[in-house]
């Protein structure tokens, strides 16, 4: 599992880029069309193999983080964001609302939960009755939040909640990014036979 204590003084540290606006961060994501580099081809192959019907525990979704961010987020999140299990993820913003068990995963800004980097925390106490492909959907959902945290100075403010189904953390910026990411997942990442069941955990409109 990744070391959640690595800070600016450590060799594994990777600084976040100069902060930009949410508009600019969205445009940056949208302006990076899928490309078949050797790295992305290898990453896609590993993801498909992991999802190819063989038994796999929830850890598989965590282990896929680097390949998922290579394909969908162009390597911008690696070493800037950690993914790990946590026994208590309630009380933080950006939670995926899955009552009554609580949030399955949340993304917290740098400095939160006593770690220097942004973090995706997966609820270790959540009763995992859902499939691996659904867990991957949750991780990718959180990676969209992490994209804005990494590019917008660790403070994404209030998203523009302008449509039914939006909330302060899942508004115009989240859903615009989600639509692009979902398109890449469906068109480029997962074969038809293993795409079934993949959602970004919100059934967002238009996706
Ligand atoms: Zn969310």
- Name the residue with tokens 């009755």: 129
Nearest 5 degrees, angle CA 199-CA 134-CA 205?
15
In a domain, 5, yes or no: no
The Å distance, Cα 62 to ligand 1 centre, comes to 17
Task: Please state, for a pLDDT cut of 70, what percent of the chain lies above it.
Answer: 73
The Å distance, Cα 143 to ligand 1 centre, comes to 9
Which of the residue ranges 63-72, 104-113, 121-130 would you say has the lowest mean pLDDT?
A: 121-130
The Å distance, Cα 145 to ligand 1 centre, comes to 7
End-to-end, the C-alpha distance of the chain in Å comes to: 32
Q: Is residue 157's pLDDT more than 70?
A: no
The Å distance, Cα 9 to ligand 1 centre, comes to 31
- CA-closest candidate to residue 50, choices 73, 38, 66, 72: 66
The Å distance, Cα 146 to ligand 1 centre, comes to 10
Average pLDDT of every residue of the chain? 77
Q: Is residue 53's pLDDT more than 60?
A: yes
In a domain, 1, yes or no: no
The Å distance, Cα 118 to ligand 1 centre, comes to 14
Q: Is residue 24's pLDDT more than 90?
A: yes
**Can you tell me the distance from the alpha carbon of 103 to that of 98, in angstroms, rounded to the nearest whole number?**
5
Which of the residue ranges 17-21, 65-69, 121-125 would you say has the lowest mean pLDDT?
A: 121-125
The Å distance, Cα 172 to ligand 1 centre, comes to 13
State phi, psi for 106 to the nearest 5 degrees.
Answer: -140, 160
Other beta carbons within 10 Å of 81: 26
The Å distance, Cα 87 to ligand 1 centre, comes to 18
The Å distance, Cα 17 to ligand 1 centre, comes to 22
The Å distance, Cα 6 to ligand 1 centre, comes to 25
In a domain, 6, yes or no: no
Using alpha carbons only, how large is the chain's radius of gyration in Å?
16
The Å distance, Cα 74 to ligand 1 centre, comes to 20
In a domain, 62, yes or no: yes
The Å distance, Cα 70 to ligand 1 centre, comes to 20
Boundaries of domain holding 145: 34-195
**Host H or E run for residue 154:** none
In a domain, 74, yes or no: yes
Q: Which pLDDT band holds residue 98 (cuts at 50, 70, 90)?
A: very low
User: Rounded to two decimals, what is the model's pTM?
Assistant: 0.84
The Å distance, Cα 38 to ligand 1 centre, comes to 31
In a domain, 186, yes or no: yes
Number of domains in the chain: 1
């Amino acid at each position: 599992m990744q070391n959640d204590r690595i800070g600016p003084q450590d060799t594994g540290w990777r600084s976040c880029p100069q902060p930009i606006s949410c508009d600019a961060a969205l445009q940056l994501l949208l302006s990076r069309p899928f490309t078949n580099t050797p790295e992305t081809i290898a990453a896609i192959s590993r993801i498909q193999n992991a999802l190819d019907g063989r038994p796999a525990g929830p850890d598989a979704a965590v282990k896929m983080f680097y390949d998922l961010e290579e394909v969908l987020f162009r390597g911008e999140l690696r070493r800037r964001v950690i993914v790990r299990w946590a026994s208590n993820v309630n009380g933080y913003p950006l939670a995926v609302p899955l009552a009554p068990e609580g949030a399955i995963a949340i993304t917290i800004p740098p400095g939160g939960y006593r770690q220097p980097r942004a973090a995706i925390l997966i609820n270790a106490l959540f009763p995992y009755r859902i499939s691996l492909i659904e867990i991957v959907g949750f991780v990718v959902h959180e990676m969209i939040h992490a994209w804005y945290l990494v590019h917008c100075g660790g403070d994404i403010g209030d998203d523009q909640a302008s449509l039914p189904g939006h909330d302060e953390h899942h508004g115009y910026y989240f859903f615009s990014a989600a639509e692009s990411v979902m398109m890449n997942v469906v068109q480029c990442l997962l074969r038809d036979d293993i795409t079934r069941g993949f959602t970004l955990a919100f059934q967002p409109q238009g996706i």
